[in-house]
Amino acid sequence: MSTNGLGRRTKYPAKYSAFSLIKHGLTKADWPQAWRKHELKSSYDVVIVGAGVHGLATAYYLATNHGITNVAILDKGYVGGGGSGRNTAIVRSNYLTPEGVRFYDRSVKLYEGLAADLNFNIMFGQMGHLTLAHNDSSLRTMRWRAEVNKLEGIDSEVIGPDDIKKLVPYMDTSENTRYPILGALYHPPGGTVRHDAVNWGYARGADVRGCEIHQQTEVQSIETVDDRVVAVDTSRGRIATSTVVNCTAGWASLINAMVGLKMPLVTHPLQAAVTEPVKKFLNAVVVSGSLHVYVSQTDRGELVFGASTDPYPSYSMRGSLAFTEELAGHVLELMPGIAKMRLLRQWAGLCDMTPDFSPIMGITPVKGFLVDVGWGTYGFKAGPVSGESMAQLVATGITPENIASFDLARFPEGRLVGEKGAAAVGH
Amino acid sequence: MSTAVTTGRRLAPQAGEVIDRRAPLSFRWDGKTYTGFVGDTIVSALVASGVDVFSRSFKYKRPRGVLSATFHDPGCTVQVGDEPNVRAAHRRLAAGMEVSPENVWPSLKFDVGAANQLLGRFLSSGFYYKTFIKPQRLWPAYQQILGRFAAGGVTAADAEHGYFDKRYIHVDVCVAGGGPAGMAAAVAAAESGASVLLVDEEYELGGHLRYGGDADLAALAELRAEVAVHESIEVMTNAAVTGRYDMNWIAVVQRQPGISVQGHAIHERLCKVRAGSLVVAAGLIERPYVFAGNDLPGVMLSTAVRRLVNLHAVRPGDNAVVFTANADGDACAQDLRRIGVGVTVVDARTDANIRRAEGGKRVKTVELADGRRVDCDLLVTAVGWTAATPLLNMAGDRPQYDATAARFFPTDRLAANVVVAGALAGDGSTSELVAHGAAAGATAAARAGHGSEVPAPALARVPHPELYRSTTHGIVDFSEDVSSKDMFSAKKEGYDSIELVKRYTTVTMGPSQGKLESANAVAIMAEAHGVSDFNEIGTTVWRPPYVPITLGALGGRGFENTRFSPMQPWHEQHNAKPLVAGDWIRPEHYGDPAAEVANVRRSVGIIDVTPLGKLDLRGPDVPKLLNLLYVNKWSRLPIGAVRYGVMCAEDGVVMDDGVTGRLGENHYIMTTTSSGAATVWEWTENWLQTEHPDWQIHVTPVTTGYASMNVAGPKSRELLGRVVSGVDLANDAFPYMHVRTATVADIAGCFMWRIGFTGELSYEIHVPAAYGLHVWEALFDAGFDLGVVPFGVEAQRIMRLEKGHFIVAQDTDGLTLGFGADLGWCIKLDKDDFAGKPELVWQSRRDDYQRLVGMQPVDPTIVPAEASQIVEGTKKIVGRVTSSRMSPTLGRSICLGFVEPRLATPGTIVTCQLPDRRRVPLKVIEGLAHFDPDGARMRI
Amino acid sequence: MIQVPCPWCGPRNSMEFRAVGESKSRPDVSTTTPEQWRHYLYTKSNLADWVTETWYHRAGCRRYFAVERHTVTNDIRESRLPAAQLRRQSDSGS
Amino acid sequence: MSGPPIAPIPVARSPIVATPPVEVVAGWEVSTHRSTAALRVSDLTWLCKVAVKADANGAFTARHPTTFGSARRLPGDLIEIGSDPGGWLTIGPVGDAAALVERLTDEVADAGEMVSVIDLTHGRALLRLTGPDSVGALAKLCAIDLADAVTPNLAAFRSSVGSLVTDVVRDDLVDGTLSYLLHCERSSGQHLFSCLVDAGAEYGIDIAGPPI
């Protein structure tokens, strides 16, 4: 199935290119709106809750791959204002289970072609991704991932301290540290994207194809008849629809509750932070599971940090001091030379964690109520493939093979997905 | 104040100046040597020496000079030695400072980047989203180039870490801001009997009074004296409250506190404050005006000029245009006249206005709204204030805009333990601000339990012209090079909410984090939307930290727990290779693990197993507990016997294993894996406290109360016979899987059990820890002639693998249920209840789970890497190797691993893919043990 | 850092504790069905509201106790002994 | 070496490397270094430590009114600490553990109450931090408010010190000098000791052997 067959045929009112930049520069003409505002219609074929990367991508692929455009994407805030605009935008596919690897690899492939697909530069920099191992058991897990990755054709290998030092000269790879670096899982295709660009590009692509993005539109309740979705009540009025897709990440449980569903989801804040910019010195994404930290450097020169989720569930996004303390302490264990760099800003997003560190995707006991939730700390990198797969499910009514193992029924049936081993921080 | 005679740009001595003219300092800037005085900031010293330009702007590389002369001054960020991004308008001069400009590649004067100014119209905000799209393969190259434009200074991989520190502080009242209101609040709180922490960003208390006139200086002296007399006030200057977190958990960063620890000056210190109340007296930040050329060097805020003139005795220019809308602007004009600067006043209150400023490396001409052009080298703007509300924001408030006073004010949404004082609340004379501060201080103290609340006298909201943008477009965010035009076009493109425009243009996202530009950003958005009420636009959420804080200060001294056994000194003397195992440091081996194995199999060896978890269990109900925690049965464990047990979690997944022995009628000792010690203890307490509080059981962790050593090998009995008294070691008297209390090497109160993790006759001795080293050495002395040698964790791993003993979390994973780990023999489903029973019952009825099996490579020389996959066809995974070693005993490679049930039959040949992609056959063996499967050697 | 009011030690920084999770009662293992049991293992209410949780004072008294916390504000309005202990006390009391 | 082995004389050792000069006193290897510094840390691991667990409202509690979170000085140079709900730790002179265990066990033997008495002498590392600047040093490691109003003399608490779970008892010297007893799991003793020395450096901390 082509991800952009219909997409290519769609004309943007103003195609983005160096040429158009210069033209607009000279003529001082205004750029058209990236996406438009609409009155809320009384009914839509599909209502997607959450205008983050998952919701927007689902709409985009509904339009491009299936020609379904009578779609409303509702968000109580603004486009990409939730986890999609708060994550550290790391993209990789070196997971532990074959199903996980195949799924995320499809996402990486989509990301590689996304700038062209969307005519929007998402700045996918594949600088390489390193997951450090500080003890033999995590080194064993890295080896495990590497071997599964290879079988799935993913570029992934365990490397030693010397090679790590070559890739990241700032890394303290000496033996006499409290957390000696024994090796790392090296994943060359891994890297980062500009998260806002992905959100906006999908929004623009969905909008131009007729899907309607409704910001500042909060879902207040969902009407069902005989366990079948019939309508969505919003802060801007009622929408009749037979299909609702829940793409609200940290808030997913609250939307689920509107149709009386409880799932194995716990919402934990996930914090991130950036430093002031300094000249480029870090040309890889570095992750340490044992030290609960991941770091990369943006083109602007800022270091972007993430860590593990907060230790107790919460819907608070206020951020904590303890997070920055642990983060800094652990980053300096890895790169002692940057102690005088300054932390500029911290923030938090909400993650809906599942017991097996895998998403919950697909149908539910309520007909017409589909979920794309349980995205924990790894949702952004899966945005494109999730959108593609959910769109296929909505359009065909058949659960695509690549998300079959992420079904809700796996919990009562005791078929948990084995990503546990690779999870912890791994992002 | 006397009229000053000026010498160059340095003014004659004057009241209120903070420089010490008797203490000149020499330093280097951009490769040349300059001098200044103690008390100078880097910038004031350079301005006094005639320097105008301190950096180039981020995107268009325009020259930047002094704007606010504060910590937040966006154009004055420099490199000092190995420290990047130093705020040169704040950092005080030190002798020999090596200061260099940032963002000026290749140099401050000549700058190719300046070509960007011509391209400016093409580099509109977000231009990078619209280009470099095709061909995709060129993006990495484009990205390289973009990367060159990264702002900021440089770091070095080997940069000296510097000394950083942390401390906890508990106070009744923390006051953020040491201006008149803040000082008054601190004094009032102290007089109510509260303990107080008074924090100010500047090097001295006083806020705007410091660079005011004679009356201000007099008032300041008084306030400082009052603060000084109160011992219960701790004053922190050159410090900032960087964050207010839940429940008044407050972060304060102290910069260069002037404390030296063993010769290391503390660079920064993070103070973690738990305060009863927080008084926010952060005051006002002067706002730049948006117009063409507003970022030219020589365009300054009135407060910047007053700081330079009155604090540092520096003459900022010779001919000034002062665009003023308030008293502070007027006072600035006064100051300039006093030092002999020619001043043209443009008074906004008479609807006069400025249109644009022109010039190259410095402002030359100002074009007024009425078309007049005035030449000058200094353009001063005094157009109003941004309320410093970040801390209020962090305390839950969303300040509201008041068009009359032309600034934002706090609302009543504020948390009760946060009180606003001074100019944030309104306008007033010094005495009015002091009165307001005092009331706030008393109220804060009352809410922290001292004295009673005092209603704050209302402060006026003095009408102020709403001045944000002139008729021309100019820079809104100086550190990000974002213009008002950029924001207009962003809005037109649909990035129309303040959050979206912030993300799209990056306005307010730079190093000054909106301190100077946020109000203007909101105003520009309101203008773009054509709304008059800024509150419809809202503001972006201020996030911590209020000012940037070093990673070093956040990281602190890095106290990481490390645990050692009593025998550690001996291990070090004997060249043990340290193995980091969680918190523990253990001997991995003493040089040759294979030889250590051979020696144990041949004669006798000793391993330090102190990290093994040990729980002392007492009480009549202990058997109930054991039956609940373990999958096997414990009801009839005789005194003197030990038994191996496995624990599963409630989901049936293997959690931990170990042996438990019964020492007396109601006395048991449970051992756990070393990594599982804490988990099992908490797990046990959980059951007892939340499910069975009625059970009579006392649990005491005694893990390191005992030094534990395993004496293993055919000669272990003979060795122990020489040092153990009070126990008959004969096989029938002290059989396998039994426990005895004994005196070992004259140490009473030891207990020893006979178990066989290594597969040999072996005794695990647990010795009162303080005597661990003594007993350990005694054993080696006593066994010298028997050839006793120590063995490490690696040798133990090899021997347990030879015996097929699995290791939890290595040979099992997060989804391995009991039966999958070949534990059918000990899982007793006929017990009424035990942790994880339901899942195990259901698993026992299935046959679809992978099995743990012993495997041997057909080629005995190949040792598959652990985690190598068992495969079928091109990529089907049907199992994996979990443990793998070369067996010195068998002279061949041996493995444990998981395979699909259909492959678990002994004799099956499976295919293993090695890391180098070679595929080799492995043979599934009978059972898990490769060596002495029926365990004869352990029972001799 | 929020402070958790330990019934034994008084208010302490949350770092000293382990948040065990939503308080749940364990099904009778002799009669439970896979659905019931796995509901007990995995399913959460995950409310944005006041919730009753179990916390463990790992770095203090080593006691498990119940906490009523609001998951949006993180305010805590009550902490008390675990239900089982309270039952036992009231039993012995009566 | 061959023939009959010569068993060395038993020596008890603390987990903390003793600062020279070192002597064996009462069977323990201890530092005899003396210090007059204003801030001092001493290794008192050799003192005996006996833990008791009993019903919070039983006979033992009645005889030992030391409440959780506080400590009492008792005759015979004993400090009884209310270390846990229903738990006590008594610190006494070096070598007295066996006698103390026996005494505490016998006390309520006939009360029919379940009481566990365990000698933890070997399970805990014990330090004493003494001097007016103890608060300043501890405040770098521990988040508990050390003000007199909150933690007066003979207050006891367990919290995190240098990211290690540690029992702290404020036990001022007879002359009123501020002083704290700190004890933790023996295996982390060296870590706790290093933390205190690092935190005390700003105040010129010195190491002193135990009073002999």
Strand partners, A160: none
Contacts of B934 (CB under 8 A, 6+ apart): none
Strand partners, D31: D22
Positive or negative: CA dihedral B435, B437, B443, B448:
negative
Q: Which residue type is seen at B877?
A: I
Answer whether C16 sits within 8 Å of D159, measured CB to CB.
Answer: yes
Residues 33-62 of C with CB under 8 A from B: 34, 37, 40-41, 54, 56, 58, 62
3-state class (DSSP) for residue C30: coil
The pLDDT value given to residue B57: 87
CB atoms within 10 A of CB B108: 21
Nearest to D136, CA basis, from D127, D128, D124, D146: D146
Closest CB from D68, D85, D165 relative to C59: D165
> Chains meeting A at 3+ CB pairs closer than 8 A?
B, C
Nearest CA in chain D to B614: D123
Nearest to B380, CA basis, from B420, B308, B321, B435: B321
Answer whether A275 sits within 8 Å of B551, measured CB to CB.
Answer: yes
Q: Please report, to the nearest 10 degrees, the dihedral formed by the alpha carbons of residues C79, C84, C86, C90 taken in order.
A: 170
CB A100 within 8 Å of CB A92: no
Does the CB of A320 have a partner CB in chain C at under 8 Å? yes
Residue B437 has pLDDT above 70, yes or no: yes
CB B285 within 8 Å of CB B177: no
Answer whether B700 sits within 8 Å of D187, measured CB to CB.
Answer: no
Closest CB from A262, A311, A412 relative to C45: A262
The pLDDT value given to residue B730: 97
The pLDDT value given to residue C37: 98
Closest CB from D68, D143, D160 relative to C8: D68
Residue A5 has pLDDT above 50, yes or no: no
Place of tokens 């988990």: B679
- Complex ipTM, two decimals? 0.95
At B253-292, the pLDDT tens digits run 999 999 999 999 999 999 999 999 999 999 999 999 999 9
> Chains meeting D at 3+ CB pairs closer than 8 A?
B, C
Residue A30 has pLDDT above 80, yes or no: yes
Place of tokens 């993006």: B139
Q: Strand B747-754 vs strand B739-744: parallel, antiparallel, or unpaired?
A: antiparallel
pTM of the model: 0.95
Does the CB of B785 have a partner CB in chain C at under 8 Å? no
Answer whether B832 sits within 8 Å of C30, measured CB to CB.
Answer: yes
- H/E stretch holding A394: helix A383-396
Chain A interface, best mutation among C40, C44, C49, C57, by max A CB count within 10 A = C44
User: Phi first, then psi: what are they for B778, rounded to 5°?
Assistant: -60, -40
User: CA B227, CA B178: separation in Å to the nearest integer?
Assistant: 10
Does the CB of B693 have a partner CB in chain C at under 8 Å? yes
Q: Alpha helices of B327-469 — where are they, by DSSP H?
A: 327-338, 390-394, 430-447
CB A294 within 8 Å of CB A264: no
Q: Which two tokens stand for residue B218?
A: 């007099």
Q: Which residue type is seen at A302?
A: E
- Expressed in angstroms, the distance from the first to the final Cα of chain C is 40
3-state class (DSSP) for residue D161: strand
pLDDT band for position B8 (cuts 50, 70, 90)? confident
Q: Is B340 left (phi over 0), alpha (psi -120 to 50) or beta?
A: left
Cα D38 off chain centre by: 21
The pLDDT value given to residue C91: 65
Average pLDDT over residues B828-857: 96
pLDDT band for position A240 (cuts 50, 70, 90)? very high
Residues 57-76 of A with CB under 8 A from B: none
Q: Strand A229-234 vs strand A129-133: parallel, antiparallel, or unpaired?
A: unpaired
Does the CB of B691 have a partner CB in chain C at under 8 Å? yes
User: Phi first, then psi: what are they for B289, rounded to 5°?
Assistant: -105, 140
Answer whether A253 sits within 8 Å of C74, measured CB to CB.
Answer: no
At B912-939, the pLDDT tens digits run 999 999 999 999 999 999 999 999 999 9
Nearest CA in chain C to A325: C1
User: CA B529, CA B539: separation in Å to the nearest integer?
Assistant: 14
CB A312 within 8 Å of CB C19: yes
pLDDT band for position B117 (cuts 50, 70, 90)? low
Angle of helix B518-529 relative to helix B484-492, nearest 10 degrees?
40
At A151-197, the pLDDT tens digits run 999 999 999 999 999 999 999 999 878 899 999 999 999 999 999 99
Angle of helix B180-191 relative to helix B214-229, nearest 10 degrees?
30
Average pLDDT over residues B346-372: 96
CB atoms within 10 A of CB B675: 18
DSSP label at residue B924? E
The radius of gyration of chain A's CA atoms, rounded to the nearest angstrom, is 21
Judging contacts by C-beta atoms under 8 Å, the chain B residues touching residue A17 are 130-131, 133-134
3-state class (DSSP) for residue B602: helix
Chain C residues with CB under 8 Å of a chain D CB are 8-9, 12-13, 15-16, 58-63
User: CA A157, CA A135: separation in Å to the nearest integer?
Assistant: 17
Place of tokens 């100014």: B117
At B84-107, the pLDDT tens digits run 999 999 999 999 999 999 977 666
Nearest CA in chain C to B836: C29
Strand partners, B790: B606
Answer whether B690 sits within 8 Å of C84, measured CB to CB.
Answer: yes
The pLDDT value given to residue D2: 44
Judging contacts by C-beta atoms under 8 Å, the chain A residues touching residue B500 are 78-79
Nearest CA in chain D to B724: D7
Chain C interface, best mutation among B689, B843, B845, by max C CB count within 10 A = B689
User: CA D8, CA B9: separation in Å to the nearest integer?
Assistant: 82
Contacts of A297 (CB under 8 A, 6+ apart): A280, A281, A282, A283, A303, A304
User: CA B671, CA B684: separation in Å to the nearest integer?
Assistant: 13
User: CA D11, CA B338: separation in Å to the nearest integer?
Assistant: 82
pLDDT band for position B2 (cuts 50, 70, 90)? very low
User: CA B640, CA B2: separation in Å to the nearest integer?
Assistant: 97
Does the CB of A168 have a partner CB in chain B at under 8 Å? no
User: Phi first, then psi: what are they for B439, rounded to 5°?
Assistant: -65, -45
User: CA A189, CA A182: separation in Å to the nearest integer?
Assistant: 22
Percentage of chain B modeled with pLDDT above 90: 88
Answer whether C39 sits within 8 Å of A311, measured CB to CB.
Answer: no
CB B676 within 8 Å of CB B655: yes
Determine whether B842 is exposed, middle or buried from the number of CB atoms within 10 Å of its CB (0-12, 13-18, 19+): middle
Closest Cα in chain D, distance from residue B583 (Å): 9
Nearest CA in chain C to B837: C29
CB B18 within 8 Å of CB B311: yes
User: CA B211, CA A395: separation in Å to the nearest integer?
Assistant: 70
User: CA B413, CA B392: separation in Å to the nearest integer?
Assistant: 9
Burial D55-88 (b: 16+ CB within 10 A, else e): eeebbbbeebebebbbbbeeeeebbbbbbbbbbb
User: CA D199, CA D193: separation in Å to the nearest integer?
Assistant: 10
Judging contacts by C-beta atoms under 8 Å, the chain B residues touching residue A21 are 122, 127, 130-131
Answer whether D159 sits within 8 Å of C60, measured CB to CB.
Answer: yes
Positive or negative: CA dihedral B38, B44, B47, B48:
negative
Q: Which two tokens stand for residue B767?
A: 């010795």
Closest CB from C41, C62, C63 relative to B650: C41
Q: Is B560 left (phi over 0), alpha (psi -120 to 50) or beta?
A: beta
User: CA B917, CA A153: separation in Å to the nearest integer?
Assistant: 12
Does the CB of A404 have a partner CB in chain B at under 8 Å? no
User: CA B626, CA B644: separation in Å to the nearest integer?
Assistant: 11
Least confident of A39-48, B512-521, B628-637: B512-521
Q: Which residue type is seen at B878?
A: V
Judging contacts by C-beta atoms under 8 Å, the chain A residues touching residue B580 are 134-135, 178-180
Average pLDDT over residues A93-102: 94
Task: Supply the mean pLDDT for chain B.
Answer: 94
Least confident of B86-95, B157-166, B232-241, B664-673: B157-166
Judging contacts by C-beta atoms under 8 Å, the chain A residues touching residue B895 are none
Angle of helix A98-118 relative to helix A136-151, nearest 10 degrees?
60
